[in-house]
């Protein structure tokens, strides 16, 4: 894999940052002026403070868990400060790129800039993605398996004309996550060279030949990553699994807390499962960070629980799970780039 500062900076350019800002602001303005009234805002004063504070704790668990997990994955090669910087910049990258695209190369670049060798950086990023996906694969199928279509929202409750498309998006996204994870697990832990052979054969097809060299490089990256990880023992993987479980549970339970603050009679397990399905659906969103689609999907999935509080809660949810990383990332990037990248020019390119 070739990672250059120039390419990363292009991805994180003002133009790419402006798009999610524009979409997010547009949707938020529409929601505020079309869907919310001051009386609804005043009603939030009666929200249960216990659940408000619980939501704050969930945020700390989520972010602290991400930072601690990165320390575990990198075997503490990163300091706490460096881990914080990488996690926040990684979240920022997710906010300015389409959810389905992700930011594997950029995340590896951040680790590379923190003096992590390229092969290890790629291995750490792939491990992170695999464990995140494993959580979604396991937790994301259980509600549908046990409750079926009942788990999906009824669009008619909110007069939304999306029909059964939610279920199709869920199925498509779940299949893509499952395929990608199986693909990476096979390459990392079973037959890395076999995976490279499959990739090269696939990209030998005339329609894909133009990307064959890059695909071969990716195959080599997987082999290198596999070499980096093969010595790890059970304790390493188990600690990452537990931390991943805590991170994602706190991430999803954050919405439970916000919902319970205004509706104490909710079924927490049901709301938690709904959030997991929501996350899987917006993974195929074509907009940066799911801007616009996330807000509309949230309305569909949680409208029946929040009623008059819906718009206020969805805005609050996006501020604390999206806008804070987008705006905070802009500030952190401005401080981080001169120290880690710009002082070395664009030489951060390794094979």
pLDDT at 350 over 50: no
Question: What Cα–Cα distance (Å) separates residue 224 from each residue in 4, 117, 156, 258, 315?
Answer: 19, 11, 51, 43, 43
Write down the pLDDT at residue 80: 95
Report the pLDDT averaged over residues 28-32: 64
For the record, the structure tokens of 191 come out as: 């037959």
Signed CA dihedral, 48, 49, 50, 51: sign only = positive
| pLDDT tens per residue, range 295-335 | 888 888 898 888 778 878 888 888 899 889 988 988 888 88
Give me the pLDDT at residue 337, please. 76
Which of residues 97 and 132 earns the better pLDDT score? Answer: 132
Q: Where are the beta strands (DSSP E) in the chain?
A: none
Q: What is the mean pLDDT of residues 221-226?
A: 88
In the chain, domain spans: 5-148+166-344
Looking at per-residue confidence, does 266 or 208 come out higher?
Answer: 266
Q: Dump pLDDT digits (tens) for 123-162.
A: 999 999 999 999 999 999 998 888 888 888 876 654 555 5
* Interval 39-88: pLDDT, tens: 555 666 778 899 999 999 999 999 999 999 999 999 999 999 999 999 99
In what helix (H) or strand (E) does residue 35 lie, and over which residues does it extend?
Answer: helix 14-35
Contact residues for 308 (Cβ-Cβ < 8 A; gap 6+)? 40, 43
Report residue 1's pLDDT band, with 50, 70 and 90 as the boundaries: low
């Amino acid at each position: 894999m070739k990672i250059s500062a120039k390419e990363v900076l292009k991805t994180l350019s003002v133009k790419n940052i402006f798009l999610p800002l524009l979409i997010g602001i547009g949707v938020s303005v529409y929601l505020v002026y079309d869907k919310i009234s001051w009386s609804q805002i005043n009603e939030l004063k009666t929200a249960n403070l216990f659940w408000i504070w619980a939501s704050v704790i969930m945020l700390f668990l989520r972010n602290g868990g991400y930072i601690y997990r990165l320390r575990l994955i990198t075997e503490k090669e990163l300091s706490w400060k460096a881990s914080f910087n990488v996690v926040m910049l990684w979240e920022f990258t997710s906010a300015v790129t389409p959810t389905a695209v992700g930011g594997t190369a950029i995340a590896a670049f951040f680790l590379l800039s923190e003096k992590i060798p390229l092969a290890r950086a790629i291995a750490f990023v792939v491990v992170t993605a695999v464990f995140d996906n494993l959580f979604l694969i396991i937790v994301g199928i259980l509600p549908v398996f046990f409750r079926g279509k009942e788990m999906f929202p009824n669009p008619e409750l909110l007069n939304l004309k999306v029909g059964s498309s939610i279920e199709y998006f869920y199925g498509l996204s779940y299949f893509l996550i499952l395929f990608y994870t199986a693909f990476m697990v096979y390459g990392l832990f079973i037959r890395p060279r076999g995976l490279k052979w499959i990739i090269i054969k696939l990209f030998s097809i005339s329609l894909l030949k133009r990307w064959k060299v890059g695909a071969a490089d990716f195959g080599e990256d997987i082999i290198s990553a596999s070499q980096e990880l093969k010595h790890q023992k059970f304790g390493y993987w188990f600690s990452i699994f537990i931390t991943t479980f805590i991170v994602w549970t706190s991430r999803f339970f954050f919405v439970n807390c916000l919902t319970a603050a205004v509706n104490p009679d909710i079924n927490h397990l049901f709301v938690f499962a709904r959030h997991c399905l929501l996350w899987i659906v917006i993974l195929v969103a074509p907009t940066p960070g799911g801007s616009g689609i996330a807000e509309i999907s949230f309305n569909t999935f949680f409208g029946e629980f929040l009623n008059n509080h819906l718009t206020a809660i969805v805005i609050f949810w996006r501020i604390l799970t999206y806008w804070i990383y987008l705006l905070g990332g802009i500030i952190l990037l401005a401080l981080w780039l001169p120290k880690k990248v710009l002082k070395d020019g664009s030489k951060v390119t390794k094979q």
